[in-house]
């Protein structure tokens, strides 16, 4: 029997992420916590774990989720770049919540080019 996944949820982390500048284009307004579309989630109303987020402005978030300008691989590369910068920025600022696990970088290889 496979144990059920226990989702990481943290309103504090999502708020901290939304306070950052966009980690893709640098915009400092209208930034959201953009959940991964590839690492568990995006279906049946379930989002990926809250520690699998990137600080993205509305435009970049839209382009990754619904835009037609980038290929799937480009969307994945842009999201992972922003995600890594988001995690690193919060850690460098000493703001990553102690009760939220830092994402495991090794799992991304099977999803991202």
Query: What is the tens place of the pLDDT at every residue in 31-76?
Result: 999 998 876 655 556 788 999 999 999 999 999 999 999 999 999 9
The pLDDT value given to residue 38 = 78
Report whether 84 contacts 56 (CB < 8 A).
Answer: no
Is residue 1 situated within a structural domain? no
Is residue 83 situated within a structural domain? yes
Is residue 54 situated within a structural domain? yes
Is residue 3 situated within a structural domain? no
The pLDDT value given to residue 113 = 45
Is residue 23 situated within a structural domain? yes
Q: With a cut of 80, say whether residue 9 has pLDDT above it.
A: yes
The pLDDT value given to residue 73 = 94
How many domains would you assign to the chain?
1
Which residue would you say has higher pLDDT here, 111 or 16? 16
Identify the domain containing residue 50 by its residue range: 11-110
The pLDDT value given to residue 5 = 78
The pLDDT value given to residue 24 = 97
Is residue 2 situated within a structural domain? no
Is residue 42 situated within a structural domain? yes
Nearest Cα neighbor of 34 from 64, 74, 10, 7 is: 64
Between β-strands 53-57 and 31-35, what pairing exists: parallel, antiparallel or unpaired? antiparallel
Is residue 63 situated within a structural domain? yes
- Region 72-83: mean pLDDT is 95
């Amino acid at each position: 029997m496979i144990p059920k996944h226990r989702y990481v949820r943290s309103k504090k982390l999502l708020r901290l992420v939304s306070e950052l500048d966009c980690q893709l284009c640098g915009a400092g307004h209208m930034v959201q916590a953009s959940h991964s579309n590839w690492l568990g989630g995006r279906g049946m109303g379930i989002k990926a774990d809250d520690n699998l987020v990137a600080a993205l402005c509305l435009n970049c978030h839209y382009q990754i989720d619904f835009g037609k300008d980038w290929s799937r691989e480009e969307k994945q590369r842009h999201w992972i770049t922003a995600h890594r910068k988001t995690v690193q920025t919060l850690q460098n600022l000493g703001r990553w919540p102690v009760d939220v696990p830092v994402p495991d970088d090794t799992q991304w290889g099977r999803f991202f080019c």
